[in-house]
Amino acid sequence: MIASGDVAGFEVLSAVQSADDDELLVVVMRFHSYDRSIEPVTSAVYRNPGGEQVDDGLNSVLPRRLLPDSHQLGFVGFPRSEIGGEVIVEFRTEDDQEPIRDSARVPVAQD
């Protein structure tokens, strides 16, 4: 579980990589809000193990808004990506503060 200050958190639950030519990596996450409503993900990118950054494109299903003290599942698809990198997400609160950016490693195998 990655806690982003006192605003929100997220955790990577699972990831799978397709075997076809586009090498689509799908990352399943659970998003948590704490004391305030949030827009869980205003941006999601992936950094492959080799350092290449990939935007999420159109392969995502993410919650639009979480009320205080809530959680919800979502997934993000990254083309041309491989397991073992880092997913970086950005949260926003409804009071227009600066976005909160945090990251989590996408493990190759379950610990």
Specify if 110 maps to a domain.
Answer: no
Residue 64 lies in a domain: yes
According to the model, what pLDDT value does residue 111 have?
Answer: 44
**pLDDT value for 35:** 84
Total count of domains within the chain: 1
The reported pLDDT for the residue numbered 108 is: 60
Residue 86 in domain: yes
> What are the pLDDT tens digits along the chain (111 aa)?
666 667 777 888 888 888 776 788 888 888 888 888 887 666 788 899 989 998 865 567 877 888 889 999 988 888 888 888 988 887 777 766 666 666 667 766 544
CB distance 75 to 89 below 8 Å: no
For residue 100, what is the domain's CATH number? 2.60.40.1240
| Model pTM score | 0.78
Residues whose CB falls within 8 Å of the CB of residue 81, separated by 6 or more in sequence, listed in order? 17, 23, 24, 25, 46, 48, 54
Q: Domain range holding 101?
A: 2-105
C-alpha R_g of the chain: 14
Residue 16: inside a domain: yes
